[in-house]
Structure formats: structure tokens, C-alpha cells
Amino acid sequence: MTNIKAVILDWAGTSVDYGCMGPARVFVEVFSRYNMEVTLAQARIPMGLAKKDHTRVILEMPEVMEQWKAIYGKQPQEKDVEEIYSSLEPAMTDIIKDFATPVPGLHGFIDKIKSFNIKVGTTTGYVAGMMEKLVPEAKKQGFSPDCIVSSSEVPVGRPAPYMCYLNAIKLHAYPFSHMIKIGDTVADIQEGLNAGMWTIGLTKSGNEVGMSFDEINEADPFIVNKLIEKAGKKLRCAGAHYIAEGIWDCIHILEEINSRIKSKELPSEFNRSHSLAV
């Protein structure tokens, strides 16, 4: 796979925190402090965005906005976003270190691509203060990427491509058509596409299915498969070049992308109907 210069991974739901459980729960808990009933499903919709943007999108949801108006007598304003986020950031910083367990298959995936001298970068909707808690815990469990860029290090978070750009600078990786973005949210896919990269959307381990490893194994396989199928369709509609259940399924996709790069095919020219995606 010598044609691939770098792989840029998302964190929660892709590399660590199977099911992206940590951040969704924090949003529900913090909104409850303001007498707001935000469901896990609602909290997951904007996942992948910078957390302040995530907060703003939740408040803009019609059903949430109606709750706010009923309680506070007016539409939520930007100062309300700032106030909620001021509670959210420390709450999330406290909890996400407990969700640093690598997704099954991550270590094998990284060992494999490292054997081809492919660099490993990361982007995240978490801010730097949150990552200061998460990164050491992940490192203890064997996950230590070559580059980590958080949403607070760039002018705008996802879906803007700036975190991918900063990864490229720090990794000395170029061109973007020789790089791959892997993530489990629509924002991840849009981020990669906007940077001109190949993209792989993850379903089973990610936010769109939204079940922990234990929950997946205990659930009805029929229901799980339906959720995986729905997640795949959503990520494909967002423009993902390939779809996989988890990081454990991505090596054969990288081999396919490597062949396409060798043939000088660009991500923008890719015909998704001919992909190996499931």
C-alpha cells in the first residue's frame, strides 16, 4: 500500500469508545440541567461537529426549540448556546477519559498500515482540553497516533477540512488524493470530501448505530443488521466512497484505494456503484 500517504481517523466511534457512547450521554445530562428533555437519538444527530456547534444544532431542532420557548418564553439565543456549552465542556472533559477503550481491531489495523510506513493522523469534535484527558488514557491502552488535531486548533471544525489540512502539515503528507479519512459520522465524511480525500464511513462501531460493544452482542441480530444498513445508507448519501462495519474491516478497502491511486484515479472521479463497500 505504498501509494497511500496517510490515514486520518476520527476518535469516538471510530478509534475508541465503541458506539460513541460518552459524548451522547453528556449532552442529554447537561441539557437536563436546564429542564430540557433531549433524547439520545437527538443528541446523536449532529455528532462529529465541534461540541459548541453540536450544542447550537440541538437547540435549533424544532422540538427542542419549542421546549425552550415553553420554559423560557423566547427562542434560544447565542448567549444560551454559550451558557449551555460552559456547562458541557467541563462535564465532557470529566467523562470522556472513561471512554478511551480502543475499538476491537484498531491495533491490528494500525500495525498493518504502519508496516507500509503509512502515517496515522486524527481529527475530533472534542476541544484541546478534553483531549488532554482522553489522549493519555488511550495511550495507556495502546493507541498513540502520529498526529492529533482537535476542533479548537482550527478556525472552524467539521465539516470544514481544516483539521485534515493541519494533519497534513504536521505529518508532511501530500497530496490529499493519496490520503484517506475514516469516520463514523456525516460530518467526518464531509470533512474528508472537502479536503479532497478518499473517505470510509463506519457503521457498526459508530454513532449512527449507537450501541456499545456489549449492547451489540446482546441485541437481536436482525435489529442490529437493520441499524447497520440504515447507517450505511446515511453515510453513503453523505458521499462516503466506501462503507465498513468498523476499523477491523478496512484493510481490504485500503488495498482497493491503493490500487485506484496507483491508476491515478482521483476521489472526485470515483464511481461508488463499483466500490467494495457493503
Residue in 10, 17, 53, 184 annotated catalytic: 10
Concerning whether 10 is annotated as a catalytic residue, the answer is yes
Strand partners, 200: 182, 242
> Is the Cβ–Cβ distance between 150 and 131 less than 8 Å?
yes
Question: E strands within the chain?
Answer: 6-9, 119-123, 147-149, 179-183, 198-202, 242-244
Q: Which amino acid is at 107?
A: H
Q: 70: Cβ–Cβ under 8 A, 6 or more apart, which residues?
A: none
Closest CA to 210 of 222, 227, 233, 223: 227
Nearest CA among 122, 119, 150 for reference residue 15: 122
Long-range contacts for 142-145 (Cβ within 8 Å, ≥24 apart)? Answer: 142/102, 142/107, 143/15, 143/16, 143/100, 143/102, 143/106, 143/107, 143/110, 145/9, 145/15, 145/110, 145/120, 145/121
Residues recorded for the chain = 278
Active site residue 51: yes
Catalytic residue (choose from 5, 17, 51, 249): 51
| Catalytic residue annotation | 10, 51
